[in-house]
């Protein structure tokens, strides 16, 4: 009597067919490792994004500098000359926050449309699809560095120096901003493939978000209206701690420097914003800013992991849905 083991051990008999392996979706951390393996492709896509944006353009990257410069002129005229906002060096105050917002809005808008705008690439070649929104963010980083030149020029023009005490918090704030933008761009880029209304809804959301982020007006107005007990409500907007950190370090609102301004003939003590001339930014130690940035950073990391998980759930049919 032969057993099953004897049958399978006979010479010339084929081994039983192996069981089919079920593919497993990589977890968020594995996805980040895949992106790192394809970092050379990421760099190439960033260069491609920059070349396509300014293809056949005479001025090229100069347009990136003109955007914040135009905002600077228009908002300075409206708020300082027409509305008489009593914030000295308003141009620097505004540009410090605008630098943050321009990067965030540009990265988020381009990242959301990154997969649909690269449909042919997605359908022909396999690579970690998360690279596409990350490439859009990389291109936005280049624009951020170029636009920072306008801010440096404004500081030189007005002979202002940043606060060296708070300057170390700026890289931390930018890192938090980068993670937050990556999380939202990755998640929205996948959703936009299935729901094309996402990119249109994002335009309206960013418009409202801009005016809720204490960029045009001082954060102290928000803090005073809410009061110490309810100031945490403003922190629900994750952009605010990043914006006020940039403003605190770059705008450098030292009350002693503004004594001449409050005594000048153009200062209007009856103006609603007159008391904002010096304390436009919270006068807290650097630890206060770092604590708020840490809270936003934890939220951004959790959001990034969730976005990578969502991307993994939706990526199977991306090529077909495009």
**pLDDT over 60 at 268, yes or no:** no
pLDDT at 30: 86
pLDDT tens for 120-152 read 888 888 888 899 999 999 999 998 998 888 888
The domain segmentation of the chain, as residue ranges, is: 28-33+40-255+278-321
pLDDT at 100: 95
Query: 69 — phi, psi (to 5°)?
Result: -65, -40
**pLDDT over 70 at 267, yes or no:** no
Q: Which of 9-13, 83-87, 162-166, 315-319 has the lowest mean pLDDT?
A: 9-13
- Residue 108 in contact with residue 199, Cβ under 8 Å? no
- Residue 233 in contact with residue 226, Cβ under 8 Å? yes
pLDDT band at 17 (very low <50, low <70, confident <90, very high): very low
pLDDT tens for 298-311 read 999 999 999 999 99
pLDDT band at 216 (very low <50, low <70, confident <90, very high): confident
pLDDT at 269: 45
CB-based contacts of 237, cutoff 8 Å, min separation 6: 209, 212, 213
**Quick count: other Cβ atoms within 10 Å of Cβ 33?**
11
pLDDT tens for 44-82 read 999 888 887 777 665 666 777 777 778 777 877 777 667
- Residue 236 in contact with residue 264, Cβ under 8 Å? no
pLDDT band at 38 (very low <50, low <70, confident <90, very high): confident
Give the pTM. 0.81
Query: 209 — phi, psi (to 5°)?
Result: -60, -40
């Amino acid at each position: 009597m032969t057993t099953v083991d004897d049958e399978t051990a006979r010479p010339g008999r084929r081994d039983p067919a192996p069981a089919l392996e079920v593919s497993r979706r990589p977890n968020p951390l594995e996805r980040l490792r895949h992106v790192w393996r394809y970092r050379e492709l990421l760099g190439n896509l960033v260069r491609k994004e920059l070349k396509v944006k300014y293809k056949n353009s005479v001025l090229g990257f100069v347009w990136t500098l003109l955007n914040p410069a135009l905002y600077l002129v228009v908002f300075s005229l409206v708020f300082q000359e027409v509305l008489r906002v009593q914030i000295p060096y308003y141009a620097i105050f505004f540009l410090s926050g605008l630098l943050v917002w321009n990067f965030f809005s540009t990265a988020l808008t381009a990242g959301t449309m990154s997969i649909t705008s690269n449909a042919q690439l997605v359908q022909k070649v396999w690579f970690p699809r998360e690279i596409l929104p990350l490439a859009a963010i990389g291109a936005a980083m280049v624009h951020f560095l170029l636009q920072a030149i306008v801010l440096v020029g404004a500081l030189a023009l007005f002979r202002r120096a940043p606060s060296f005490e708070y300057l170390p918090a700026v890289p931390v704030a930018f890192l938090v901003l980068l993670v937050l933008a990556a999380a939202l761009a990755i998640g929205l880029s996948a959703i936009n493939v299935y729901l094309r209304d996402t990119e249109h809804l994002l335009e309206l959301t960013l418009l409202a978000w801009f005016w809720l982020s204490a960029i045009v007006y001082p954060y102290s107005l928000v803090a005073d209206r809410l009061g110490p007990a309810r100031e945490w409500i403003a922190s629900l907007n994750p952009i605010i701690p990043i914006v006020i950190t940039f403003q605190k370090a770059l705008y450098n609102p030292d009350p002693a420097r503004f004594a001449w301004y409050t005594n000048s003939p153009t200062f209007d003590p009856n103006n609603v914003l007159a008391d904002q001339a010096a304390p436009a930014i919270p006068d807290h130690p650097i630890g206060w800013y770092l604590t708020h940035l840490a809270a936003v950073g934890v939220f951004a990391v959790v959001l990034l992991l969730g976005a990578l998980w969502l991307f993994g759930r939706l990526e199977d049919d991306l090529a077909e849905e495009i």
